[in-house]
Chains A and B, each alone.
Chain A
Amino acid sequence: MNAQVIQMLLEGIRDTLYMTFGSVIIGYILGLPLGILLFVSNDKGLKPNKVIYRVCDFIINIIRSIPFLILLILLIPFTRLVVGQSYGSTATIVPLVICAAPYIARVVESSLNDVDTGVIEAAKSMGASNMQIIFKVLLVEARTSLMTGFTITTGLLLGYSAMSGTVGGGGLGDIAVRYGYYRWQTDIMIVTVVLLIVIFQIIQNVGTGISMKSDKRKR
């Protein structure tokens, strides 16, 4: 393996991490508030609101029912509008975010649903406002489960970023497709796959480690 290939693989790793974390971060900027909104507006939430809940619920379900590869193609005009081009790693972040945000909203909603209603009741009895309950009770009590959700989402987006390689998305997936599929250079493809596996393992282990360590519920 020559220096050129190694250089290419290093750039692939960089692009893959850029796409994964870029989309996870922007995804959370959109998905976290949306998840909180779902929880709050739910029937048994802090401020039930049927209309808001139904609308969010509907949009999320629609987006989540479209397979990622199709979303990738469907969003090409939109991506071009936002980024100026429809290929490359920055452009790939757009469909990744659109795919991730509704998923993240659901994961966040379910983490918040797991918070003991008794604790919320106790906070209300102390005179806490809804904002205080969200930021000082819900997000704190649910942090282990939120961290787990974050780890799972990151792993998922790592896979999706590789999938976007099939349409010129950049990163390791792109390399695997170009060399493995079009040029029959199986060795390079195998190396990219191994790299993806290693990155996935690191993300999973670090994420699990942090959430376990931050959990005070266990002795």
Chain B
Amino acid sequence: MSIIEIKNLTKKFEVEGHVITALDGVSLSIEKGDVFGIIGMSGAGKSTLVRSINYLEKPSEGVVLIDGVNLEDLSEKELRKERSRIGMIFQNFNLLEQKNVIDNVCFPLEIAGVKKKDARVRARELLRLVNLEDKEKSYPSQLSGGQKQRVAIARALSTNPQILLCDEATSALDPQTTGSILSLLREINEKFGITIVIITHQMSVVTEVCKKVAIIDSGRLVEEGEVEKIFTNPQSDAAKELISGREIRYTPLESLDTGRKIRIVFRENSAYEPVIANTILKMQAPLNILRADTRNVNGKAVGEMILGLPEGEELQNSIIDHIKEAGLTVTEVTEE
């Protein structure tokens, strides 16, 4: 049984007379122990989706099951109890500014009615986990963004949740701090088996920690599956754009622009063969390398390259065939 099961979720907002459909028939299941990414452009409905998982946002239609329990069937009180089993962290950290670090971490326990002494013991344990034992008396205003997010993570974990929801948790952080927060999340997932849902608009966040990913575009789920598979061979326009489309549109190599571009992905095994050089030699035609990059996808090095093809459709097709024969995945890069 999936720990989170979303069925046919639709959410409509009414704003000054007209209706905005933020989510449109989204169905999704997330297995226990997964690190699940939900990615989409701004306004796609990611926050609305993650807020539906703990019913901060009540769906207009459809159901949300947590561990098989339909949240719709719960009373206010039961729902609050259920929420305390689902931790959540945010882009802006949302710490209590007037409380110090340890009181922030104790806060969910205070709400749950845990004795202050026991709460402190638990809080210190968690501050050790996030490497902030020496900051327990500091106030949030005295911490850096990364430290604040660590406090927020400790706070979210204090009630021993089964699920941790992260809404753009690294979007306000620089790349290096993002990396350290992501490895902390991975550590939490591996150590405690907590299911983590990561909302982001950055593909790099997904490839870094997620095993599975769902792509949301204008309130609809357009693609879902293993990160590696989708990264290698994206099907939907939204996925292609999130992986590389936007960046290539800004490429300064306009003079070399031949019109047709392809994206190829190397795995560890294919990286040994000089595929590009072989292709050029065999076809006797130039290939423009517009972009090349190596990324860490679930701990494996994956190379990505965007090539500009020479003129002539026949030549282009045979180049593509040749690269495919070498075992690489080829996707056309389309621009609107």
**Residues on A facing B (Cβ under 8 Å):** 116, 118-119, 121-129, 132, 136-137, 140-141, 143-144, 214-219
**Cross-chain contact B108 with A126 (CB below 8 angstroms):** yes
**Min CB–CB distance B122 → chain A (angstroms):** 14
Total cross-chain contacts (CB, 8 A): 75
**Cross-chain contact A127 with B84 (CB below 8 angstroms):** yes
List residues of chain A with CB within 8 A of the CB of B83.
Answer: 124-127
**Cross-chain contact B111 with A128 (CB below 8 angstroms):** yes
Q: Is B314 an interface residue (CB 8 A)?
A: no
- The answer for the CA separation of A217 and B95 in the assembled complex, in Å, is 11
Contact with A along B86-108 (1 / 0, CB 8 A): 11101010111111100000011
Q: Is B142 an interface residue (CB 8 A)?
A: yes
**Cross-chain contact B141 with A217 (CB below 8 angstroms):** yes
List residues of chain B with CB within 8 A of the CB of A128.
Answer: 80, 111
Q: Out of B90, B92, B97, B111, which one reaches A126, CB within 8 Å? A: B111
**Cross-chain contact A127 with B81 (CB below 8 angstroms):** yes
A interface secondary structure, majority: helix
Q: Which of B59-94 contact A (CB under 8 A)?
A: 80-84, 86-88, 90, 92, 94
**Min CB–CB distance B7 → chain A (angstroms):** 22
Residue of A118, A122, A123, A137 most packed against chain B (CB within 10 A): A122
**Cross-chain contact B100 with A216 (CB below 8 angstroms):** yes
**Cross-chain contact B94 with A119 (CB below 8 angstroms):** yes
Given A125-B54, A136-B110, 12 additional A-B pairs, CB 8 A: A116-B94, A121-B56, A122-B94, A123-B111, A125-B56, A127-B81, A127-B108, A127-B111, A132-B111, A214-B98, A216-B97, A217-B141
CB contact under 8 A between A119 and B95, given known A136-B111, A216-B141, A218-B141: yes
CB contact under 8 A between A219 and B142, given known A122-B88, A126-B107, A126-B108: yes
**Min CB–CB distance A6 → chain B (angstroms):** 45
Q: Out of A127, A136, A216, which one reaches B139, CB within 8 Å? A: A216
- The answer for the CA separation of A16 and B92 in the assembled complex, in Å, is 47
Across chains A and B, which 5 residue pairs bring their CB atoms closest together, nearest first?
Answer: A127-B84, A122-B94, A127-B83, A127-B80, A118-B94
List residues of chain A with CB within 8 A of the CB of B56.
Answer: 121, 124-125
Residue of A118, A125, A144, A219 most packed against chain B (CB within 10 A): A125
Q: Out of B112, B141, B152, which one reaches A127, CB within 8 Å? A: B112
The size of the chain B interface, using a CB distance under 8 A, is 30
- The answer for the CA separation of A132 and B107 in the assembled complex, in Å, is 11
**Min CB–CB distance A148 → chain B (angstroms):** 14
List residues of chain B with CB within 8 A of the CB of A143.
Answer: 98
Q: Is B232 an interface residue (CB 8 A)?
A: no
**Cross-chain contact B80 with A119 (CB below 8 angstroms):** no
- The answer for the CA separation of A121 and B235 in the assembled complex, in Å, is 36
**Cross-chain contact A121 with B94 (CB below 8 angstroms):** yes
- The answer for the CA separation of A191 and B88 in the assembled complex, in Å, is 61
- The answer for the CA separation of A144 and B141 in the assembled complex, in Å, is 15
- The answer for the CA separation of A79 and B54 in the assembled complex, in Å, is 53
**Min CB–CB distance B30 → chain A (angstroms):** 18
CB contact under 8 A between A125 and B86, given known A136-B111, A216-B139: yes
Q: Is B159 an interface residue (CB 8 A)?
A: yes
**Min CB–CB distance B58 → chain A (angstroms):** 12
**Min CB–CB distance A57 → chain B (angstroms):** 20
- The answer for the CA separation of A11 and B205 in the assembled complex, in Å, is 71
**A-B contacts, 25 listed (Cβ < 8 Å):** A118-B94, A119-B96, A121-B90, A121-B94, A122-B95, A123-B107, A124-B56, A124-B83, A125-B54, A125-B86, A126-B84, A126-B108, A127-B81, A127-B84, A127-B108, A127-B112, A128-B80, A132-B111, A141-B96, A141-B97, A216-B97, A216-B99, A217-B139, A219-B141, A219-B142
Q: Which of B95-145 contact A (CB under 8 A)?
A: 95-100, 107-108, 110-112, 139, 141-142
- The answer for the CA separation of A122 and B140 in the assembled complex, in Å, is 15
**Cross-chain contact B97 with A217 (CB below 8 angstroms):** yes
List residues of chain B with CB within 8 A of the CB of A125.
Answer: 54, 56, 83, 86-88, 165
Contact with A along B47-58 (1 / 0, CB 8 A): 000000010100
**Min CB–CB distance B34 → chain A (angstroms):** 20
CB contact under 8 A between A140 and B94, given known A125-B83, A126-B111, A218-B141: no
**Cross-chain contact A122 with B81 (CB below 8 angstroms):** no
List residues of chain B with CB within 8 A of the CB of A217.
Answer: 97-98, 139, 141
**Cross-chain contact B142 with A126 (CB below 8 angstroms):** no
B139 and chain A: residue at smallest CB distance: A216
- The answer for the CA separation of A126 and B83 in the assembled complex, in Å, is 6
B161 and chain A: residue at smallest CB distance: A126
List residues of chain A with CB within 8 A of the CB of B139.
Answer: 216-217
- The answer for the CA separation of A217 and B107 in the assembled complex, in Å, is 18
List residues of chain B with CB within 8 A of the CB of A123.
Answer: 107, 111
- The answer for the CA separation of A61 and B159 in the assembled complex, in Å, is 45
A115 and chain B: residue at smallest CB distance: B97
**Min CB–CB distance A107 → chain B (angstroms):** 19
**Cross-chain contact A140 with B99 (CB below 8 angstroms):** yes
**Min CB–CB distance B74 → chain A (angstroms):** 12
